[in-house]
Homo-oligomer: A and B are copies of this chain.
């Protein structure tokens, strides 16, 4: 398991001598940043009607697929809030979408699940997800998507986020 402060698969000790870097690499980094920002902005817009944020939606959708989960387990499945996503879950509990049940055996843990109100949101969220997917990827060919997915997976190999997504989409 890599340390928290690991990038993209490179532990601090094995960093490359930063020699072979071109401006394109920098542009690629900022393009990734920009794509993520614009995507998030759009997603936010779509979710505004439901009064949900992208992070909250991610949690609800993961719970819909894999509840019950402890807070730590959930943290290992989502990209957001790498540690324990207590606070985001907190808001969802306050709004009555997520339930928190103290563990019987291990009384440190809390089991999370969707309330009825939370479950009712799921179809809408899936719909929005699909719309955002379509908006984000419709300009890419199938081949391009494949290359990007493979490349990004490789970049993320050995990171916490990478592990989370591997479990989530292929675990």
A109 at the A/B interface (Cβ < 8 Å)?
no
> Which residues of B have CB within 8 Å of A169?
23, 26-27, 30
Residue in B closest to A130 when the chains form the complex, CB atoms: B18
**Contact at A145–B31, with CB atoms within 8 Å?**
no
**Contact at B15–A135, with CB atoms within 8 Å?**
yes
A79 at the A/B interface (Cβ < 8 Å)?
yes
Secondary structure call for the A interface: helix
A100 at the A/B interface (Cβ < 8 Å)?
no
Residue in B closest to A139 when the chains form the complex, CB atoms: B154
**Contact at B134–A18, with CB atoms within 8 Å?**
yes
Residue in B closest to A136 when the chains form the complex, CB atoms: B8
Chain A interface residues toward B at CB < 8 A? 4-10, 12, 15-21, 23-42, 45, 79, 127, 129-140, 144-145, 147-157, 159-162, 164-165, 168-169
